[in-house]
A = this chain, B = another copy of it.
Amino acid sequence: MKALSQVGKYGLRAILYLVAYPSENSYMSIRQISDELNLSFHFVTKIFRELTAKGILISYRGPSGGVALARPADQIMLIDVVKALEGEDYFDKCLIGLPNCGTAKPCPVHEFWKEMKTKIQQNFTETSLATLGEKIRSQEFRLDD
C-alpha cells in the first residue's frame, strides 16, 4: 500500500534525521542530511523549501546556515508534516476515487475506509516528531537501508 509519494517519503525521512540528530542551537545543512540518508541533495532541498514555506522548518543561508525545526519537536506532529507534504485533503479521499464520497451517498467501502483513515489520522495526530526522533536515537529503529 503506497500511501505516500516520493516527496512524502523523502521529506519524512529527512526531517526525522534532523530531529534525531539535532545540532545544539544551530542549523543542520541539507547536504549533511542528504548525504547521510543517500537522498538527492537537490530534491531534498526542494522538499525542504516547501516545509519552510509552510512554517514547519526555518532556514538560514550562508556558512553555518542550514535548516532547523520551526518549533520544538514535541510540538510538531506527524500529521503536520504529512499534510504539508501530501496536501491538506490527505484524509479526505475516497478509496475508489468518487468525488464527495460521504455518508449521504457513500461508495460500497466508504464506512470501512473512513474507519481506517480515522485510525491513521488519530495516530499521526498523537505522534510527535520528538517521539519518533527518540526512537531513532535509541538505535532500534532506522531511517535508511
Contact = CB atoms under 8 A, between A and B. Distances in A.
Interface in A95-123: 95-100, 105-110, 112, 116-117, 119-120, 123
Contacts of A136: 108
Q: Main secondary structure on chain A at its contact with chain B?
A: loop
A31 interface: no
Interface of A: 1-4, 6, 9-10, 12-13, 16, 78, 90-91, 93, 95-100, 105-110, 112, 116-117, 119-120, 123, 127, 132, 135-136, 140-145
22 contacts: A2-B2, A3-B3, A3-B95, A4-B95, A4-B96, A6-B97, A9-B95, A10-B97, A13-B96, A13-B97, A98-B142, A98-B143, A106-B140, A106-B141, A107-B141, A108-B136, A109-B127, A109-B132, A110-B141, A112-B123, A116-B116, A116-B120
